Structures are given as structure tokens and as C-alpha cells.
Structure 1
Amino acid sequence: MSLDTLTSQPLPIRARRHGDVVQVRGNDRDINLPVAHLGGGRLALRPASEGVPTHNETLAACETLSNHATEEVLVVLDRALWCAREAQLLKSGCAQVLDGDTLGVFPELLWQLPDLWLPEPQPVFPQVMMPDPHGAHPLRPAKPTGTLYHRYIPWLDQVFSLRALEREADLPLFHHWMNDTRIAAFFDEAGTMAEHQGYLARMADDPHMMPVFGCLNGVPLFYFELYWARENRIGAHYEAGAWDRGWHVLVGEEHARGADYITAWLPSLMHYMFLAEPRTQALVGEPAASHHQQIRNLTRSGFARVKDFDFAHKRATLVRLERDYFFKSRLWARPDPEDPGRPLRLSCSALLTRGNTK
């Protein structure tokens, strides 16, 4: 399946690194950008012989250079060579002036821009607090439709995407997954087609819940329920921020289990929720306290284990991931199994606070 068929809008720019060259591929041209190692985790990106890349081509190249956890990365741009792009890079917020000669593109800034991953970035929704028996919460925006997010996963060589569930078209697959004995054992929603139709109708009518499919190369493999924590049952068990968000997950297809897939869908889902609402400062979950493997996967992925508590139907563990930690630690990248540590020394805040950019 062509990457351009994955969404209602084509994916216009794709980039891959081949040694000391980043190949950027768009709909109308391919360009090769040389990369030079400057030492200390700094990579110099230079324009192609075809000329200075567009803004989004530049962002795609920088994304590719920062898509790995095995090395620290600060992408350095020579201001004389990139003067045509400097104003837009600085205005977007992904780049900072390092000195009189160079700009630095910091991963924790770049990956907070929606440009490369959200097909249709939404404006920030006005905040109006609404009364609620469990405490005031913001008026929630209308739920988006269609493709929500897409990201190339280098270790799978596939595109992971999120799309909003279509109630009628997706009902048969939802029904099939919910009646799978493996899934029903923990999701506990086995039932008839009519019951599942009612389930999705209630979800559609609930402003705080959103059902989403996770796909690889356009094929649905995962089901997620995203929710605003203030209005959810979890909100009674911790001091939920106004824009905190949580999620439930099931892996619909047996072959899509395992580390290669978890390290693709889990950080990508977290990335989407942080991008979709810039006021979201924390993501939470409530796995069963007895589900030790899932909790291990979450803590390895950056979640803090906060406490155990009781729902009416289960003993749960509250886990929490903060925006600042996700982006500074580059948790979107697949950790090296031999070295699971995360690079932090070249963070934007550390370098710019010290003024040590040399």
C-alpha cells in the first residue's frame, strides 16, 4: 500500500537517513541533505545541491535525525546557508540561536510542533469552565474525524496512524475484537452486534470520550479510548488537571503484540495527545494493579507509578506521564535494548540557561 493512500490527505514529505545523507522525498521531488558529525552529539545539516529545502522539508530532515534514542542529537544549521529558512524556523519555535553563526534545532521543541504529524492541526479551543457534580471542567471541543495523526516508524518501516472510529463502517471489526476471548478476558465488553452498536453510540454522545483506531500502513490493529480525566472516574482518585487526558487500549490482532509494536504505538499515541491539545500537561492511565507486564511496559516508556487504588470493579494502579519529561527525554524514540537510558545533556533548557552553546 502506498503511503499516499493512508490518509484523506497525502503524506507530502518523507525522510530517511542513509549514513551521512538524509533523503527527503516529497510529491514532486527528492533531495539529499548532507550530514556532518561535529562531536558531542551535534549534527550539522547542510542544504542539498538542489537548493535550500522548504520549511517542512527541513523539519522532516530534522525529525529523522532525532528519531533515535541511541545518540544525543542537536541539529546545527549554519545561518549563512539557511538564511532563507531562519525566520520561519525561529518563529515556529523549533530553532534557537546558538551564536552568531549557527542555529540549533532541539528535538524537544521540534517534536511539539504539529506540522509533520497532524494532517489538520486545530486552533486552540477557547477555555470556558463548565459546572459538573464532580468538579468544574473545560467545555470540550468537538471530536475530530478522519485521520488524526501519522508517523513513519523506522524500525517497522511502516507508517503508524490514528483515525477516529466510524460508528457504522467500523462496527463489524469492533464487534469481532470485543468477542475475541483474549480481549474479552480483560476488556469485558463481549456482546451482540446490537449491544456494540449501542456502546459506540453512547461513546459518540459522551463529550469526554473518543474511540480511535491505531493502524499500520492503513490497516487497523489497535483500539484506543481517549478520555478527559476530569470527567472520568479516574478524576476522583487524583487531582486531575483541566486538560489531563487518559486512555484505554486493546491490541486487536495477535501478530501486532510484542516490543516492536509497543515501542511504535505507545509513544506515538502519547505524542498525539500532547500535540492535539498544547494545554495537556499530563497523561494518565489506570491498568489493573495485577497486570504486572503492562505496568512494566508503561514505566519503561516513561510513566511514573503514582499509587494503587480501588475502582468498584478492580484494584488499579495510577500511572502518569508529564509533557516536559516526554519531550526532554525523547520518549518517542525506540530505546536501545542494550542501553535503555535516555539522553538529556543536550536539552534546550540546559544549554540556553547555561549559555553554553559552544
Structure 2
Amino acid sequence: MPPTDSGLSSSSDDTLDLQLPPEWDALLAAGARPPAPPGAPAAGALLDHLAGWGPADTPAGLFALLPVQPDRDLGRIAAWMNDPAVAAFWELAGPAETTAAHLLTQLRGDGRSVPCLGVLDGVPMSYWEIYRADLDPVARYYPARPQDTGIHLLIGGGADRGHGLGTTLLRATADLVLDHRPHCGRVIAEPDLRNVPSVAAFLGAGFRYADEIELPDKRAALMIRDRAHRHQL
């Protein structure tokens, strides 16, 4: 999670002047993800139908992961990506097309990574990616196990950072994964080692620091939350 105040409000209707590529316009016009490639798993199967998981009751309020809808969410997410504190680690600053291309890669895939808005008491305030780590390139860099599930996140507004909220929501999200993915034994994350507040938030949420791993774009802390120990940490 980004370490500094961005000045963005998580409840604002941040928008950008969007000049979208033709394939994104087609996606918006369709109102949904395009059809999966032939032979791909049924929609949502790889992550046990995340869209139907429902909310979690947390000390901060009712929290839900809502799969991204481009026509509703792109402007907000692109604005968050242009916060310097976020851009330092996500590297998606720039025109909305940059964020659109990042989202499109997931939305046109087979469902192994699902981009989501994090909504707290009805207010969109964070961006999440829930992904099958065992099917992701990251599996080449650590001893992956079948059904490992990964988490990426950013907290959108500076006012929501630095108060332990990230820790609360990470714990809730890891619990959602373990509750709704019965064959998943571990939730993993690979935050940049330089992002000390993010690593600390994962530790506070019951993840353990397992290793340092060298990824193509960063040196990362491998954080793991084990199903077997979920109620002990």
C-alpha cells in the first residue's frame, strides 16, 4: 500500500478525459467481458465465482469486492493510478488508456485474475486484484502450490491510509478467499520490499514473511497466509 497522502478523496467522482482504444470501446458497448476463448474455463470458475462471494463484516464497516465494470470504474481507477504515491509502485500513471490496457488484459483473459473495486460501507475506496498465483508468472519465482491465491491492492484516498485500515481489509479479504475457495490452502502476496507500510500491513493481517524473491520488475517480499494458521495470527 502506498506510504504517503495522495490528496485524492476515495469518495470523489474522479474522471479523466478518456480517449479509449477501439477494443475497449467494444468492451464497453458490450456491457460485459467479451466471450472467453474456446476451451477456457466457465466464467469465474478459476476463482470460485468471486462475484458471488458477498460482503465481509469488518471493524471498519461492511466491505465487499465488486468486479470492475469498465464504464463505471475506469475513471476512478485511472485517477488513483496517477497519485504519485500509487504510481511509485504500480507504474500505471499516465492517460486513462494506460489503466484501460492493464484492466483489459485481465478482463479479456480466462478469469485467473479478477480486478475489483473495494467498497467500504457503500463507498468505493480501493482497487484489488485477486489472482490465481499458481497460474501466474509469479509461480516461477517461489515454490507455488496448486490453488495458491494472490492479492494485489491499493488504497485510493490518502485519508484512508496510515490508520490501520489496509491491515483490516487485507485480513477480511484473505478470509473471504479462504472461506469461498475451499481448495485454496494459502493466500500469497508479493509487495515491493521498498514499500514498508505495505509489508507491515500484510504482517498485521496474519501473513508471514516467507522469503525475498527477485521478480522481473521488483525485489519483493513473499507474504503468505496459511489456512492452517488463519485463526492463530
| Residues 308 and 315 in structure 1, CA contact (< 8 A), matched pair in contact too | yes
Q: How far has the Cα of 1:206 moved from its partner?
A: 2.1
Give unpaired runs (5+ residues) of structure 2.
Answer: 1-38
Instruction: Please tell me whether residue 281 in structure 1 is matched to residue 153 in structure 2.
Output: no
| Residues 148 and 163 in structure 1, CA contact (< 8 A), matched pair in contact too | no
SS where residue 169 of structure 1 aligns? helix
Instruction: Please tell me whether residue 262 in structure 1 is matched to residue 140 in structure 2.
Output: no
Instruction: Please tell me whether residue 237 in structure 1 is matched to residue 165 in structure 2.
Output: no
Alignment counterpart, residue 252 of structure 1, candidates 144, 151, 156: 156
1:169 is matched with 72
Alignment counterpart, residue 149 of structure 1, candidates 54, 58, 61: 54
TM-score (norm 2): 0.74
1:355 is matched with none
Looking at structure 2, the residues matched to 200 and 191 of structure 1 have their Cα atoms a distance apart, in angstroms, of: 14
- How does 1:48-127 map onto structure 2 within 5 Å? none
Per-residue deviation, residues 287-339 of structure 1 (Å, max 9, x unmatched): 1122233222222322121111211221111111101111x32x5xxxxxxxx
> Which one scores higher on RCO, CA 8 angstroms, separation ≥ 6?
2
SS where residue 149 of structure 1 aligns? coil
Is the helix fraction higher in 1 or 2?
Answer: 2
| Residues 160 and 264 in structure 1, CA contact (< 8 A), matched pair in contact too | no
Structure 1 residue runs of 4 or more that deviate by more than 6 Å after TM superposition: none
Alignment counterpart, residue 203 of structure 1, candidates 83, 106, 113: 106
CA 183–279 in structure 1, closer or farther in 2 if over 3 Å, else same: same
| Residues 147 and 163 in structure 1, CA contact (< 8 A), matched pair in contact too | no
Alignment counterpart, residue 160 of structure 1, candidates 34, 56, 63: 63
CA 198–293 in structure 1, closer or farther in 2 if over 3 Å, else same: closer
TM-score (norm 1): 0.50
Q: How far has the Cα of 1:170 moved from its partner?
A: 0.8
Amino acid aligned to 1:278? P
Q: How far has the Cα of 1:221 moved from its partner?
A: 0.4
Q: How far has the Cα of 1:140 moved from its partner?
A: 5.1
Q: 313-322 vs 259-268, which deviates more?
A: 259-268
Q: How far has the Cα of 1:146 moved from its partner?
A: 5.1
Give unpaired runs (5+ residues) of structure 1.
Answer: 1-129, 131-138, 332-358
Per-residue deviation, residues 118-160 of structure 1 (Å, max 9, x unmatched): xxxxxxxxxxxx9xxxxxxxx7552347564312334x3x211
Per-residue deviation, residues 75-115 of structure 1 (Å, max 9, x unmatched): xxxxxxxxxxxxxxxxxxxxxxxxxxxxxxxxxxxxxxxxx
Q: Of the two, which has the highest radius of gyration?
A: 1
Looking at structure 2, the residues matched to 213 and 147 of structure 1 have their Cα atoms a distance apart, in angstroms, of: 14
SS where residue 201 of structure 1 aligns? helix
Q: Give me the identity figure in percent.
A: 25
Structure 1 vs Structure 2 CA RMSD: 2.1
